[in-house]
Amino acid sequence: MGQYENDVQCLLLSASDRSLTVYDATTLTHTATFCITGLPSIPTCLAYSNSDLEGSELLFGTERGDLTRIRFLQPRLSLFYSKTPDNINYYFWMELSSPPHTTYNAITTWRKVHSRAVRRVAYTRDGDIVLSCSHDSTVSVRSRHVPGKLDDYVFRVQRGVTCFHVVSPLHLLATGSCDGIVRLWETTQAAPFATLPTPTLAAVLDVAVIASEEIVLAYCNNCTVHIWDMYEECLLQSIKLRFPFLGVLGKKVEFGAFCIHPGPTRRPYVDDDLASIPPLEATSRRGSSVYQGSTGGLMLQTEARDDWQSRGLESEPEYIRFNRPELLLSCCDYVCVVLLKDQELGSIMPPPGDTLRARRPSIWELPDDMLSTPGLSRRSPRSPRSPPVPSPRMLAPSSAEYPTQDLETLLKNAGLEGILEKDFVLMQGLKQDLNRKLAEMDANKTNMSYAVNAGAPYLALKTHEPTPMEPVDEMVDEYKRVMRLFPAMSVTGTPRGSETSTLQRSSRL
């Protein structure tokens, strides 16, 4: 399960080994920065909410029906405490409740929210309300006030709820369940005001409310999409998706946690050229306005907070997210595109320009007069033309492709003349062939892995050949040469004690 955190540009993934991994998504190459292991239960779903005043927080449901809330206290600085910024930081879950982690996050756990595994969680009303669903027949959907000042709302369905979608300005909650019925609820009513059954009664995997088109869309496990009118509550159309793998013998059909996804953002087709020019807006860093008081002086008035109650439907995040001319429906490793508007589509909005360029040190953006080190210059003898004017942006192209000083002078001052030559290693008398040693180590590692996988690790041990024996004739000559050094030995047998000390017994006696 994955969740993208847009305000800090991080990607968080949960795994069945009870771990959470945070990836840095600021560039095209994502790198892991944090890994939290040893969670009490397996996380099954994730939700993220960010606010300029309240901060950001992560919520995940578990297989035991619990909800865990991680509130990030310094999200713009770091989500978790970082020991090594250059490498991934590994932590156990129990470590997050003790310093220095408590200065970066606070953890709250709600026990037994559902009696079965949590299927999906979501934030609404700017993070004030949390909704979660489960296959629990007693508490199918629970709506909880995050500050805890309001009572919980509980929605009950006979076989539980698999998925849901909420639109706050409309006070509308749409749920899908295993019995193949889509139910429409008021967010404060315990009974549904509309029941929309599918023609085949197949289990509903995902549901979405397209408020811009006034339709409700459901995706079933038989790869069929059903579309209802949101106000007339009548079935408009059923679409059977013909995926290539359907009917293939032995192919297992798998669905993800989310099957309905909004399409890419596109520019309007008519105003394609005008949309490329960003509008000029007068923005201010201070959340206040200046007005003239009764005495003639200037006074500051705090601007009203953009509350969800004063916000229109067009400003609702879910309305904006699904206000697209097309939808993406996924199954296995295939994606089907469903057009919602019969019009010519504009071009897809490109990614931000900063993601297409690599990061560069800030020293490359400094002007020449700020470089106090003597001998440093923006002009290189190998590139006589002057570099362009440095840009005020960190990631904008500037004079980075021009070296700040002569490379030959640097090598000469460091005593490394000839390092760029072909035989520099031989000139310095270095006999260590590191490439050969690395190749041998890699070959040995590969052979050992093969032996271990075959169940015979002893075959990976190195064997030593015995020393060859010398010829027998040479060994005999050596033996005789050594024996000459010792005196001759008598071959006469030593008499027995009975023969010298006692009389021998005679047969005559």
pTM of the model: 0.62
pLDDT tens figures, 1-31: 788 888 888 899 999 999 999 998 877 778 8
For residue range 282-335, list pLDDT tens digits in order.
333 333 445 455 555 555 554 445 566 666 788 888 888 898 889 999 998 889
- Give residue-wise pLDDT tens across range 126-160: 888 999 999 999 999 999 999 888 899 999 999 89
How far from 142 is each of 65, 133, 204, CA to CA, in Å? 11, 7, 19
Question: Do the beta carbons of residue 93 and residue 19 sit within 8 Å?
Answer: no
Q: How far apart are CA 7 and CA 280, in angstroms?
A: 23
Q: Which CATH number fits domain 1-161: 2.120.10.70, 2.60.120.200, 2.130.10.10, 2.40.30.10?
A: 2.130.10.10
Closest residue by Cα to residue 35 from 52, 16, 22, 25: 22
β-strand partners of 110 = 67
Long-range contacts of 69-72 (CB under 8 A, 24+ apart): 69/107, 69/108, 69/109, 69/110, 69/146, 70/96, 70/105, 70/106, 70/107, 71/105, 71/106, 71/107, 71/108, 72/104, 72/105
Cα distance between residue 384 and residue 219, in whole Å: 64
Token pair, residue 309, equals 């109650």
Greater model confidence, 392 or 215: 215
Poorest-pLDDT segment among 180-189, 226-235, 290-299:
290-299
**If we measure between CA atoms, which residue out of 135, 129, 128, 117 comes closest to residue 175?**
135
CA torsion angle for 472, 474, 477, 481 (degrees, to 10)? Answer: -130
CA angle 113, 168, 132 (to 5 degrees): 15
Burial zone of 37 (CB within 10 Å; 0-12 exposed, 13-18 middle, 19+ buried): middle
> Other CB atoms closer than 10 Å to residue 157's CB: what's the count?
22
* Homologous superfamily of domain range 167-272+311-356: YVTN repeat-like/Quinoprotein amine dehydrogenase (2.130.10.10)
In the structure, what pLDDT confidence band is assigned to residue 343 with cuts at 50, 70 and 90?
low
pLDDT: which is higher, 32 or 288: 32
Cα distances from 423 to residues 426, 433, 447, 458, in angstroms, run 5, 13, 33, 42
Rounded to whole angstroms, the Cα distance separating 336 from 327 reads: 8
Average pLDDT, whole number, for the chain?
77
| Digit-coded pLDDT (tens) for 33-75 | 999 999 999 999 999 998 766 678 999 999 999 999 999 988 8
Share of the chain above pLDDT 70, in %: 70
Higher pLDDT, 501 or 23: 23
Q: Rounded distance, CA 154 to CA 173, Å?
A: 12
Residues of the chain with CATH 2.130.10.10: 1-161, 167-272+311-356
CA–CA gap between residue 136 and residue 133 (Å, rounded):
8
